[in-house]
Structure 1
Amino acid sequence: MCPRRDGPVVLMKTNSNRSAWEIPEQEYPRRGTPGEKLRFMLRYAVLAPSNHNTQPWLFRVRGNQVELYADRARSLSVTDPNDRQLLISCGCALFHLRLAMWHFGHLDRTVLLPVPGDNNLLARVSLGEEDPPTPQQEDLFRAILLRRTNRQLFREDLLPPELKHELVKAATREEATLHFVNDREQRNAIADLIAEGDRQQWANRRFRLELADWLHPNDGEARDGIPSSAQNSGDLLSVAGPIVIRTFDLGEGQAAKDRDIAAYSPGLVVLSTRTDEPWAWIAAGQALARVLLRARADEVWASYLNQPIEVPALRPRVAEILGTTDHAQIILRLGYGPNVNPTPRRTVEEVLVPTV
């Protein structure tokens, strides 16, 4: 792995809505029941990334099993009308749960979409037999508490070729493909699509209203959504920001900014899958989580540039530019930059469905 390039993470505030990131690992109930162990492991699952930080997942613990459900009450009807990104987010949480199982010395037995016709039950994960984690699994696990979506400016330092190879392998292990956009012509074409996606989205008032609904003041206590600090906004703008977003089309300015970010980031990648169905979306989420954690283990940050994938007319053009028949699911920029705060999280208790 690369040497550390970041300083220690320093939180600007210790809001109670970020307490989920503080996990005393020594409290893991090694002599407890399977249910007690699984509920502790879920503390790592809820730290997974999600679109607008909606955290659209629910869990039910049954004996030595966890069932993962889609919480469609948290869907984004404008940005994600088919719940594709919702299922990707749930796939990220699923991978975090599996990784916690490995870290605490268990194999997992995971079945996706285990009940035909039940579109909300996404996975059933059983606590498997004891098995020590590998060093690679431990690296990924340690990265869970360090992972953030980082929208700050990245340095110009390029990603090492060996790390890029490892990230491609990480996606492949979860049945997805990671494309590094290295060719300058392709990079410019993707950057242009991102800018066009910005313009089309911001011109849609319903998009602006939906985004504003998930933005919260920096000193707020909401356990979901995006604090304005994550968007590089000060405290005053954090209060006024949602009003501005609801009222004005800021698409041209956002398009110019995001085009430059995409064109000149140290790494620009597209995550794709062979098919475009719920099973593939969950797989894409697991691949995304593995890629993000593998990158973070080497001090690499990431943030999203999904605009053209969220605009139906633009999405097929991403694959065309890459020369693939796959379906584009996620666009990320990767690089080295300053530390940032974690975003708020709901606690495990808030996402547990009672066992009946």
Structure 2
Amino acid sequence: MVTRRAILWTGAGAVVLLGAGVAPLLHSDLSKARAPWRMAGTGFGDIRLDALSYAVLAPNPHNMQPWLIRLDGDDALTLFCDETRLLRDTDPQDRQIVIGLGAFLELLRLAAAEQGFGLDIERFPEGEPQPRLDGRSIASIRFVKKTDVKDPLFAQILNRRTSRVAFDQSRPVSAETLNALDKALRPGDGEFEWVNDAANVAALKTICRAGWRVELETDATRHESAMLTRIGDDQINANPDGISLFGPAMEAAHLMGMLTKEKMDEKGSAAYQATLDFYNKNIDTSMAFGWLSTSSNSRTDQLRAGAGWVRMQLAATALGLSMQPFSQALQEFPEMADIYEEIHDFTGIETPAGPTDGRLQGLFRFGYAKPGPAAPRWPLETRLIAADG
């Protein structure tokens, strides 16, 4: 599930001279887009809304925020997927979107538990949609008053960040630290394996570079990402989803016409090359890699993998460890087939032929870096739907 919400503009095209009349325009104020992080847990007068205010902060592919929520009665809700937010080219089986919905459900569970409630969750009550998601619900959830259900990972929800910067090359990631992430998983969340030795890390860097290049060079997937890019404060505050590019350098490049959606979608442009170079640099500074797999690949497995994914990230946050998903090699569009086979071969998981086969659900790089800012989010009220749909 890879999301590129904070690319730093480092290519040659970023070198611009600013006149006195332009400089005052180059600021960054994303307080509106980040308001949901400040609103979480402030008291909505309904336990479900209080818990949902944390759930909408879940990591998800391309920051599409595909969740739609219907409140049912006094103690229940139904989760749906907004089909207008699917990644039709990058995620042709909607697997990554379902993983993001699984992370949403886990943050909902953690937030409810903090207030003394458990969740009775029925996943895919109308059946698992295959091969694509459709209008059927993702989960039916009922809040049940319980005691002793709090989880210490809740404390990290507002601190959680996905790191999209170069990692500190002087700080290795220890086996003890990586094993601590494994302990955050619950039965059914998937199996976590990792490498931190030079040879295996180098091999995975090569695979990640190849997967990233395929996604960027494939016209359909590059175009999909480019059209989902929001550049500068105005665009991001108006549409706090997709891939966000912000900060004075971004604003300057955008004003100069060097950084636009169209330029990002143009092979060989400065924007294209800067994007390629930036992510290659991130890959090259990886200090360790880990992957999450499931024994089969049902929609329910994907939801549970999403829970495992976010639990590991919360545990990493508590340890001061930075973590970024780098899952291009796991994607199912045709041009990725060779890399897809290579990553499964590397991890010793047979390339899956169907939903009953084992499947890699996430690939992550690890290291240490200063935490970045919170990602933009749509306010909770924009994700609620009426009982009549």
TM-score with structure 1 setting the length: 0.86
For 1:21, the equivalent position in structure 2 comes to: 37
Q: Secondary structure of 1:180's partner?
A: strand
Which segment drifts farther, 208-217 or 90-99?
208-217
* Superposition pairs of residues 100-111 of structure 1, within 5 angstroms: 100-111=111-122
Shift of 1:340: 1.2
Counterpart of 1:181 in structure 2 is 195
Amino acid corresponding to residue 242 of structure 1 in structure 2:
K
Counterpart-to-counterpart distance in 2, 1:235 and 1:301: 27
The letter of the residue matching 1:145 is L
Identity score, percent: 25
Aligned partner of 1:244 among 263, 269, 272 = 263
Match of 1:223 in 2: 240
Separation in structure 2 between the aligned mates of residue 292 and residue 217 of structure 1, nearest angstrom: 27
Q: Which runs of 5+ in 1 are unaligned?
A: 1-10, 30-35
Aligned length: 336
Counterpart for residue 148 of structure 1: 161
Between the aligned partners of 2:184 and 2:194, the Cα distance in structure 1 is 13
CA 1:254–1:28 in structure 2 vs 1: closer, same or farther (change >3 Å)? closer
Deviations along 1:118-138, one digit per CA (max 9) or x if unpaired, are: 65311122112221344xx13
Q: Secondary structure at the match of 1:114?
A: coil
CA RMSD of aligned residues (A): 2.5
Rounded Cα–Cα distance in structure 1 between residues aligned with 2:278 and 2:240: 29
- Of 286, 299, 317, 1:265 maps to 286
Name the structure 2 match of 1:287: 308
Corresponding position of 1:192 = 206
Tell whether the 8 Å contact from 2:172 to 2:287 is kept in structure 1 after alignment.
yes
1:14, CA displacement in angstroms? 4.3
Could you give the per-residue CA deviations for residues 87-140 of structure 1, whole angstroms, max 9, x where no partner exists?
A: 011111111101111111112212211222665311122112221344xx13x1
Match of 1:92 in 2: 103
Q: How far apart, in 1, do the equivalents of 2:210 and 2:60 lie?
A: 23
Are the aligned partners of 1:106 and 1:132 in contact in 2 as well (CA < 8 Å)? no
Alpha-carbon deviations, 1:268-288, whole Å to 9, x = none?
A: 111111112212111111111
**Secondary structure, aligned partner of 2:337:** coil
TM-score, scaled to structure 2: 0.79
- The 4+ residue runs of structure 1 with deviation greater than 4 A are 249-260
Q: Of the candidates 30, 47, 57, which is equivalent to residue 57 of structure 2?
A: 47
**Partner of residue 336 from structure 1, selected from 351, 368, 376:** 368
CA deviation profile, 1:3-47 (whole Å, cap 9, x unmatched) = xxxxxxxx9534312110102635264xxxxxx210121010100
Select between 321-330 and 279-288 the one with higher mean Cα deviation: 321-330
Q: How far apart in 2 are the matches of 1:171 and 1:252? A: 38
Question: What per-residue deviation string (whole Å, max 9, x for no partner) do you get for residues 68-93 of structure 1?
Answer: 11212101111101111110111111
- Give a deviation string over 1:179-236, Cα, whole Å, max 9, x none: 1123443322222221111222222222221111111122122221121139x96322
State the alpha-carbon separation in 2 of the partners of residues 273 and 24 from structure 1.
31
